Structure 1
Amino acid sequence: MVKFNKSAEFSFSCSSRILLGTVLAILVVFASIPFISNVYAAKPSLVLTIPKSDGILIHFAQQAFKEVSQRSGIDISITELPKKRALVEANMGNYDGTAMRVINLEKDYPNLVRVKSSVFSVQHVLFSSQEGTFEAVHSFHDLAEYVVKNNFKVGYLNGSKKAKDELSQLPLDNKIALGGPIQAFDLLKAKRINAYLAGPGMTNRDIFNKHYKGTGIQEVGVFAKFPLYPYLHKKHKELIPLLEQTLKAMIKDGSLNRIRDKLEKQ
């Protein structure tokens, strides 16, 4: 029989205790990692889409959501995509939502949930290719009758659900979906279309004033005015109450109007 002396037994016992203590310490460290990571976790972040054809409205969105970020603690950034793709990608969850779109998108994009505080109000404006046309037209019903009677063609932006709905009374041969405002104004200038239902009005007026004054193109008038809302993908719906609260505060203290007024004066 092998016998251990007391010294050897004591040494083995101490070594075992040290080893056991080390193992327990390691386990405590690993167990605490999730807690530490939660304490120091980065604040929530969102990437919202906006149509790249929105021009000056993009600058509004960037400035408005920068302030929303500062107030809410949500890190929000804006990315530009083609008008229809901006909705499709957000609905698929490839982005976290869309910055400013019309009400009732959920019918066609069921994964998007509306933030019920409007961030902006826009106009849909009609431009014509020559002076004197469309003067007696004051509604979409009048527009449909006038366009069909004269066999005219009206352009609108592809991906604009609102414009598509507004022109639903027109036969397919009397309307055409276009890639952006520049294409629309170019076609007006060349008289290849007779009218352009332009939205947002703020963006299109800015483009018209900078590049198309004196070309014979005329603004007929405002045909619609409506609010725009942010939408989040449903996986981020828990952030919606905080965004609504923040936007309501910015509406109440006039912050959103100040951002808009500053851009319009530039």
Structure 2
Amino acid sequence: MSYAADSLQLQVADVERPSKLMAEKILTQAFNTMHVNVNFIPLPGMRMQVMWKEGRLDGIAGRALSSDLANGVRIDFPVAYEEAVVYTIKKNFIPNGYESLQPYSVGFLAGIPYFDERLKNVPERESAPSIESLFKKLEVGRSDIVVESRFSACVLKKLGIQDVVILEPALERRPIYVYLHVRHKDLVRELESVLKAMEVDGSVKKLQEQAIAEYRQKCPA
């Protein structure tokens, strides 16, 4: 089946992350193989949820939540990944899952359903509208720690914020999946097959490495 006349509208995060670049690169190649046109639409999390409920999106290009998406069909192949880590200036402990964060004031990026789910048992939370403001709140003591992608250390360099460290080990390395709206369920099996073939021939790993390299090129030395 060809969708050449119309493009699938796939949401991606409105924040530059390697995982976003991974998903775009891998899905572009996969859908090209299938002769399907796609457009990637950067949207914040809350706006994405509204448009999804209204049926105005054909898919979500990067979702890490374990809970199901209403009217969505998950493609059984992770196209990207993120490592969630703890950033801090003054605290020193060994992270052991999200439950170990309960004694602290935890900063996180607003509009990310994934972090809402993971941090639901943390009593004191401090959300921020952007990664930049998230780290600035950490700098002035509005939060004890920040939970964010390991790759977001690049933002710290751009801001020139000193003395922030990453506590090891990572909270988790989470796979990121694609969801298609149920109206496109006829594409699911073929897309899974194409992605798995791309893994076998090395294309997935190559494109993921390219995405990380491109992201790091924009990061201050």
In structure 1, list runs of 5 or more residues that go unmatched: 1-37, 148-152
Identical-pair percentage: 23
Deviation, 1:214, is 5.1
Aligned to 2:133: 183
Aligned to 1:217: 164
Q: Give SS of 2:100's match.
A: helix
- Alpha carbons of structure 1 residues 59 and 245: separation in structure 2 relative to 1, 3 Å: same
Q: Give SS of 1:58's match.
A: helix
Q: Rg: which structure is higher?
A: 1
More RCO (CA 8 Å, sep 6+): 2
Aligned to 1:255: 203
Q: Which whole-Å CA distance do the structure 1 matches of 2:5 and 2:33 have between them?
A: 13
Residues 24-60 of structure 1: per-residue CA shift (max 9 Å, x gap): xxxxxxxxxxxxxx9x983563110011024343332
Residues 210-256 of structure 1: per-residue CA shift (max 9 Å, x gap): 31455221111311112111011111111111111111111222212
- Confirm or deny: 8 A CA contact 1:91 1:233 kept in the other structure: no
Q: Which whole-Å CA distance do the structure 2 matches of 1:74 and 1:103 have between them?
A: 26
Aligned to 2:122: 170
The residue correspondences of 1:233-252 to structure 2 (distance < 5 A) are 233-252=181-200
- Confirm or deny: 8 A CA contact 1:99 1:230 kept in the other structure: yes
Q: Which whole-Å CA distance do the structure 2 matches of 1:102 and 1:110 have between them?
A: 15
- Alpha carbons of structure 1 residues 117 and 73: separation in structure 2 relative to 1, 3 Å: same
Aligned to 1:154: 106
Residues 57-94 of structure 1: per-residue CA shift (max 9 Å, x gap): 33323222221122111112211011232233234311
Q: Which whole-Å CA distance do the structure 2 matches of 1:102 and 1:122 have between them?
A: 9
Root-mean-square deviation (Å): 2.3
Aligned to 2:7: 45
Deviation, 1:98, is 0.6
TM-score, length basis structure 1: 0.72
Deviation, 1:126, is 1.0
Q: Give SS of 1:70's match.
A: helix
- Confirm or deny: 8 A CA contact 2:107 2:125 kept in the other structure: yes
- Confirm or deny: 8 A CA contact 1:48 1:78 kept in the other structure: yes
Aligned to 1:65: 27
The residue correspondences of 1:11-26 to structure 2 (distance < 5 A) are none
Aligned to 1:114: 74
Q: Which whole-Å CA distance do the structure 2 matches of 1:41 and 1:238 have between them?
A: 12
1:77 pairs with 2:77: no
Deviates more, 1:212-221 or 1:60-69: 212-221
Q: Which whole-Å CA distance do the structure 2 matches of 1:194 and 1:41 have between them?
A: 49
Give the letter aligned to residue 139 of structure 1.
G
Give the letter aligned to residue 108 of structure 2.
Y
User: Could you say which structure has the higher helix fraction?
Assistant: 1
Correspondence for 1:192 among 142, 158, 161: 142
User: Could you say which structure has the higher strand fraction?
Assistant: 2
- Confirm or deny: 8 A CA contact 2:45 2:113 kept in the other structure: no
